[in-house]
Amino acid sequence: MLKIKNLKASVEGKMILNGINLEVKPGEVHAIMGPNGSGKSTLASVLAGREDYQIEGGEVEYIGKDLLDLSPEERAREGVFLAFQYPVEIPGVSTTNFLKAALNQVREHHGKPALDAVSFLKLMKEKMALVEIDQALLSRSLNEGFSGGEKKRNEIFQMAMLEPKLAILDETDSGLDIDALRIVANGVNKLKTRDNATILITHYQRLLDYIVPDFVHVLYKGRIIKSGDKSLALQLEEKGYDWIKEEADTVSA
Amino acid sequence: MSKDNQILEELTKSDYKYGFHSDIETESAPKGLNEDIVRFISAKKEEPEWMLEWRLSAYRHWLTLKEPTWQNVTFPEINYQDIIFYAAPKQKISPKSLDEVDPELRATFEKLGISFDEQKRLTGVAVDAVLDSVSVATTFKSKLGELGIIFCSFSEAVREHPELVKKYIGSVVPVNDNYFSALNSAVFSDGSFCYIPKGVRCPMELSTYFRINAMNTGQFERTLIVAEEGSYVSYLEGCTAPMRDENQLHAAVVEIFAAKDAEVKYSTVQNWYPGSKEGKGGIYNFVTKRGLCSGDGSKISWTQVETGSAVTWKYPSCILKGDNSIGEFYSVAVTNNYQQADTGTKMIHIGKNTRSRIVSKGISAGKSQNSYRGQVKVMKRAEGARNYSQCDSLLLGDKCGAHTFPYIDVENPLAIVEHEATTSKIGEDQIFYCNQRGIATEDAVALIVNGFAKEVMNQLPMEFAVEAQKLLAISLEGSVG
């Protein structure tokens, strides 16, 4: 589904990604971990197409297409979803209206007619139950005055509505208390199918107690320096990042 | 429902959609302005002597005035001798029913999305349409008549209800009020008149549709709304004009009189031709709108969505004379390309415990300039007066301007006046967030702008809300690269 080859990217002249290689297949869950400043969120932003980042080399193939050649909205319509670390406020626009605009543009892209109000509402109710989100929240201005937990839950709700092929969750666990974490994780798990894939970007292994990854990768200085299964995450939890950093620094030196 | 679809269909195409010109034979006065032209107009309208005298006094006063220059807009000097002050669609006998209206004329209105048949059947909106200064058709007259409501063209009101016109014309906006109101008073060719008797709640939205069709003509219409004690009316006004390279002048006057406990809600969606992307042509929209809350407990509410015109210059105002009277002003003004708008309101608190609320949302894009200018004046005897003003500006791009000129003048120490203002830009992160959900940039801008203007849009009657939302989006098309 997703093949990243030697991807390099910079921001304001500073190299952040120094050659990322990663393959994600349908049905898989990949966790990307790493210390602060290792390039985790940059990777998420580059895959989603944020303009602030300059691609310096490499390629990304997504369902047979050149991902880097697509505009951010085309990527979204083709099923790439980014759950934002810091969801953006849009005053005066309710989540409901926002999603209606989004869903209908995605549908149009796939040659499907716009959903009528009744079907849209029905779909909403169904997905609301998945992430245990309250309808009142969806009528409020998008993310405006939402608590940290509400914002993250709202991101997962949007994901449920848009049913992406590739979901990238950028530190969705940060700022969540244990109950919110459980709800968010449950939502993600329920949305998992054989045909879609998830990339979890996280600091902590805590999230991985709830969403069990097939692969864990450690990102450091813009490179994946170690990959393994979920036991790697436990190792990191226990020993921190230092041992792995040292290993990497020794190799590159 | 099919009306909604029609509106949606019309409005989802880009560019100025009302730029068509209809081949309707018109009868017009020679270019220029002098006493003979004023007499000509009055004679054409078969007006009584007092009406002519009123016009002439206005004209003579106008001659003593100078065009004002204090507004924050620039435009080439207007040559008043180069304007045709009267143009009427040729039609020999005034129509008794809609079926008698010139088919070409009706086709024009159908293009505008106001089909009279449908209006009649479905919506319950009574429409008075003004084409090139002359009122063409008023629907629903008989139905309203049963309630004692008068809703007709201004000319007809002068003929049929001279005592009412005489009593109220110029009572809120006097002849000598300002340069353009004096000009309008001299040469106004038609407009709408509306009278709601005591205790009557008008059961439908009354609506006027203005359109300039002929070349080189100015449009000078006059609207007079009188709401007697305890009555209620909601009034809608919409405007369009064909695309032309030269500028055209629109100088209207709207007067509202509200007696004790009467409530008038006046909504405008102004979509005059804004000029080309390079700033050529477009309408000069210089309008005087004022409401007098004459009786205690009366209320006048202005809502405007201003997307058109090359230059807009207007301040729908409320004089809060009656104790406990309420004035409201809700405005969205959008400027793009080379458009200029200097708009706002005046709230004059005279009576005790009078309240006013101002919500202004300015959106500037392209190389446009958008100014809010508002005056809140609390007179000495206006004990317990309250005002709340909120002025928000949204900028798209870095070549446009947003300006706020609030004037606050309080003579009563017990008054409470609040003013809040914000200026913001549409953030790249907001656009990216929308993009990431599959929403194209232009649609994202429309979504964000509509959200920004929501508080005002919510004030619009349903019939206009959809159209206004689409208008905002269209006006800003191509404003984000």
In Å, how far are A51, B94, B271, B370, B452 from B395, measured between CA atoms? 21, 48, 20, 10, 11
- pTM: predicted TM-score of the whole model, two decimal places: 0.81
Contact by Cβ (8 Å): A144, A132:
no
Query: Which chain B residues are within 8 Å of A81, Cβ to Cβ?
Result: 436
Where do the domains of chain A lie? Answer: 2-252
In Å, how far are B41, B126, B136, B137 from B117, measured between CA atoms? 31, 11, 15, 12
List pLDDT tens digits, range A163-188. 999 999 999 888 788 888 898 899 89
- Numbered residues of chain B with Cβ closer than 8 Å to any chain A Cβ: 427-430, 432-441, 443, 447-448, 450-455
A50, A92, A98: residue with CB nearest B432: A50
Side chain identity at B153, as an amino acid letter? Answer: S
Give CA–CA dist B312/B310, Å, rounded: 7
Contact call for A162 and B437, based on CB within 8 A? yes
Question: Chain B residue with minimal CA distance to A48?
Answer: B436
Q: Is domain A2-252 classified as CATH 1.10.10.10?
A: no
Q: SS3 helix, strand, coil % of chain B, rounded to 5?
A: 25, 35, 40
For Cα atoms B356, B232, B348, give the angle at the middle one, nearest 5 degrees.
25
Question: How many other CB atoms are there within 10 angstroms of residue B89's CB atom?
Answer: 21
Of B42, B36, B39, B35, nearest in space to B159 by CA: B42
Residue B141's region, left for phi above 0, alpha for psi from -120 to 50, else beta, is alpha
Contact by Cβ (8 Å): B352, B290:
no
Candidates A93, A112, A155, A169, partner chain B, best to mutate (most B CBs within 10 A):
A93
Give CA–CA dist B205/B316, Å, rounded: 20
- A236 Cβ partners below 8 Å, 6+ apart? A33, A205, A216, A218, A244
Give CA–CA dist B285/B272, Å, rounded: 8
Contact call for A72 and B429, based on CB within 8 A? no
Contact call for A93 and B435, based on CB within 8 A? no
ipTM of predicted complex: 0.95
Query: Which chain A residues are within 8 Å of B432, Cβ to Cβ?
Result: 50-51, 72, 88
- Numbered residues of chain A with Cβ closer than 8 Å to any chain B Cβ: 48-51, 71-73, 75-77, 81-82, 84, 87-93, 97-99, 101-103, 105-106, 109, 141, 158, 162
Question: How many other CB atoms are there within 10 angstroms of residue B297's CB atom?
Answer: 20
| Confidence (pLDDT) at B463 | 65
Contact call for A73 and B439, based on CB within 8 A? yes
Of B469, B447, B446, B455, nearest in space to B422 by CA: B455
Residue in the structure block whose two tokens are 């297409």: A65
Contact call for B443 and A88, based on CB within 8 A? no
Give CA–CA dist B391/B201, Å, rounded: 32
Contact call for B436 and A71, based on CB within 8 A? no
Chain A: give the shortest CA distance to residue B453, in Å: 8
| Confidence (pLDDT) at B239 | 60
Which residue stretches of chain A have pLDDT < 70?
A: 251-253
Question: Chain A residue with minimal CA distance to B443?
Answer: A101
Q: pLDDT in tens for each of the 481 residues of chain B? A: 344 444 334 333 335 555 555 555 566 777 778 888 888 888 888 899 999 999 999 999 998 988 888 777 777 788 888 877 777 655 444 444 555 555 665 565 565 555 454 444 334 445 566 655 555 555 566 778 889 999 888 888 999 999 999 999 999 998 888 888 998 999 888 888 999 999 999 988 887 766 655 555 667 889 999 999 999 999 888 765 555 556 678 888 999 999 999 999 999 888 777 777 877 778 888 889 999 999 999 999 999 988 888 888 889 999 999 999 999 999 998 888 888 888 899 999 999 999 999 999 998 888 888 989 999 999 999 999 999 999 999 998 888 888 999 999 999 999 999 999 999 888 889 999 999 999 999 889 889 988 998 888 888 877 677 777 777 777 777 666 4
Contact call for B436 and A93, based on CB within 8 A? no
B436, B443, B448: residue with CB nearest A48: B436
| Confidence (pLDDT) at B336 | 85
Give CA–CA dist B140/B120, Å, rounded: 7
Q: What is the dihedral of CA A157, A159, A160, A162, to 10 degrees?
A: 120
Burial of B156 from C-beta contacts in 10 A (0-12 / 13-18 / 19+): buried
Chain B: give the shortest CA distance to residue A30, in Å: 21
Candidates A11, A52, A67, A73, partner chain B, best to mutate (most B CBs within 10 A):
A73
Query: Which chain B residues are within 8 Å of A99, Cβ to Cβ?
Result: 437
Query: Which chain A residues are within 8 Å of B448, Cβ to Cβ?
Result: 90, 93
* Concatenated DSSP letters of B174-188: -TTS-HHHHHHHHH-
Buried b (16+ CB within 10 A) or exposed e, B7-40: beeebeeeebbbeeebebebebbeeebeeebbeb
Question: Chain A residue with minimal CA distance to B439?
Answer: A102
| Confidence (pLDDT) at B300 | 97
Buried b (16+ CB within 10 A) or exposed e, B266-295: bbbbbbbbbbbeebebbbbbbbbbbbbbbb
Contact by Cβ (8 Å): B260, B270:
no
Query: Which chain B residues are within 8 Å of A51, Cβ to Cβ?
Result: 428, 432
Contact call for B440 and A73, based on CB within 8 A? yes
